[in-house]
Structures are given as C-alpha cells and as structure tokens.
Homo-oligomer: A and B are copies of this chain.
Amino acid sequence: MPLYMDVHNLGESVTLDAVAQAHAADLQHQDAHDVHYLKYWVDESEGRVFCLVDAPTPDAAVTVHREAHGLVPDEIHEVKEGA
C-alpha cells in the first residue's frame, strides 16, 4: 500500500485538540476506502497540519478527509519513509 504525506495550510491557528477531533472522524470513515491515517503533526500557531496515511490512491485519502470533516489537503505526496 502506498504511503502519503499530505499538507494542510489552514491559514489560521488551530489547536491540537481540534485536529485530534478531525482525525477521530477520519478513523470513522477510512475503512470503507481501505485508507489508514497513521500519524499527524500540527503547527498550531501557523495552522499547518501534516498527515501520514496509507492509501490505495491519493484520491482515496482525500475522500476520507472530505467525508469526515471537509478539510481536504493543499498538497498530497506519495512518499517513502526512512529513519
């Protein structure tokens, strides 16, 4: 399954708690699309959110966001992970 990193530029500050609620909604909608939101990172002051997600296609990942809370990303990148 391909791995993606998406980037949300919300354009205003956001709290970790608000993103956690959106993520919880993603988890409720993702199985139907064979998508797995794994982790996210939030720059609260700038309103920038990075989501790491396994998905069959980028569209599937974006569809889950759209259905769950409507906050679709500004970018989505197929990525390979290293450590």
Where the two chains meet, the residues of A that have a C-beta atom closer than 8 Å to any C-beta of B are 3, 5, 7, 16, 19-20, 23, 38-46, 48, 50, 52, 77-83
Contacts and interface: CB of A to CB of B under 8 A. Distances in A.
A82 B16 contact: yes
Given A5-B50, A50-B5, A50-B50, A39 B81 contact: yes
**Protomer copies:** 2
9 contacts: A3-B41, A42-B81, A42-B82, A43-B77, A43-B79, A46-B77, A48-B77, A50-B50, A50-B79
Given A5-B41, A20-B82, A50-B50, 17 more contacts: A5-B50, A7-B7, A16-B82, A23-B82, A38-B83, A39-B82, A39-B83, A40-B81, A40-B82, A40-B83, A41-B81, A42-B79, A42-B80, A43-B79, A45-B78, A46-B77, A50-B79
